[in-house]
C-alpha cells in the first residue's frame, strides 16, 4: 500500500510541476488520503513527500502560513532522505516561498544552500535559476552592483538554456527599473523577448 501512496505523491508532484497546477484539485482527495497514512506512518520518505507536496499545494493557493508550517514539517524529515538533489529542491522551493513573502534573509539562506548544492551536482539550469533569485534579493535590498555581477555571471553560463537566458535578461531589466535606468532596462527587456 505504501508503494501506491509513494507513486500517488510522485504523480501529484509531477502534475504540479508539469501542468502549472491546473490538475491539482483533481488530486486533492488522494492527497488527503495519503495525509492520513503519512500522519501514522513510520515511513520518513512518505512523510517528507507528503508534507512537501502539501506545502507546494498551499503555496499555489496563496495560503502562505499553511505552506510554511508544512515546509517546516517536511524539513524535519529531509535529512532522512540522504539525497542532495532533493535537499537542493527543497531549499530552492523554500527560498522562493520566503522571497515571495519579502523575507529576504531567510530566502537568501535557503537559496544560497540550493545554489551551492546544485553547483556541486552540476545541475546547471537549476543553479542558474537560483542565481536569478539571489540577484533579485540583492536588487530588492538595494545592492544593484552585486545583483548585476550575479546576473552577468549567470548570463555567461546560460547559452544552452534560452528560457533561463530570457529570465536573466528580465532580471537585469528589473534591477535597472528599480534604479531608474530605464534605457538599459528597455534594452534588456528587448533581449529577454528575443
The answer to whether the Cα torsion of 192, 119, 74, 69 is positive or negative is: negative
- Do residues 92 and 128 touch, judged by C-beta distance below 8 A? no
pLDDT tens by residue, the chain, 194 residues: 455 555 555 665 556 555 555 555 555 655 565 555 556 555 788 889 889 988 998 998 899 999 999 999 999 999 888 999 999 999 999 999 999 999 999 999 999 999 999 999 999 999 999 999 999 999 999 999 999 999 999 999 999 999 999 999 999 999 999 999 999 999 999 999 98
* Residue 17, C-beta contacts closer than 8 angstroms, at least 6 positions apart: none
- Do residues 22 and 63 touch, judged by C-beta distance below 8 A? no
| Class of 104-194 in CATH | mainly alpha
pLDDT at 1: 44
Q: Where are the domains of the chain?
A: 1-82, 104-194
pLDDT at 27: 57
Establish how many alpha carbons lie within 13 A of residue 24's alpha carbon, considering only the half-sphere containing its beta carbon: 17
Amino acid at each position: 500500500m505504501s508503494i501506491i501512496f509513494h507513486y500517488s505523491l510522485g504523480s501529484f508532484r509531477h502534475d504540479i510541476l508539469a501542468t502549472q497546477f491546473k490538475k491539482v484539485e483533481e488530486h486533492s482527495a488522494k492527497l488527503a488520503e495519503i495525509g492520513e497514512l503519512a500522519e501514522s506512518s513510520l515511513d520518513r520518505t512518505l512523510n517528507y513527500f507528503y508534507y512537501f507536496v502539501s506545502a507546494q499545494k498551499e503555496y499555489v493557493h496563496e495560503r502562505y502560513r499553511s505552506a510554511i508550517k508544512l515546509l517546516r514539517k517536511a524539513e524535519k524529515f529531509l535529512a532522512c532522505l540522504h539525497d542532495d538533489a532533493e535537499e537542493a529542491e527543497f531549499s530552492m522551493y523554500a527560498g522562493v516561498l520566503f522571497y515571495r513573502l519579502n523575507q529576504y534573509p531567510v530566502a537568501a539562506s535557503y537559496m544560497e544552500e540550493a545554489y551551492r548544492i546544485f553547483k556541486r551536482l552540476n545541475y546547471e539550469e537549476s543553479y542558474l535559476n537560483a542565481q536569478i533569485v539571489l540577484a533579485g534579493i540583492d536588487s530588492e535590498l538595494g545592492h544593484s552592483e552585486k545583483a548585476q555581477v550575479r546576473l552577468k555571471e549567470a548570463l555567461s553560463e546560460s547559452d544552452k538554456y534560452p528560457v533561463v537566458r530570457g529570465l536573466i535578461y528580465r532580471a537585469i531589466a528589473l534591477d535597472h527599473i528599480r534604479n531608474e535606468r530605464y534605457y538599459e532596462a528597455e534594452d534588456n527587456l528587448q533581449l529577454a523577448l528575443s
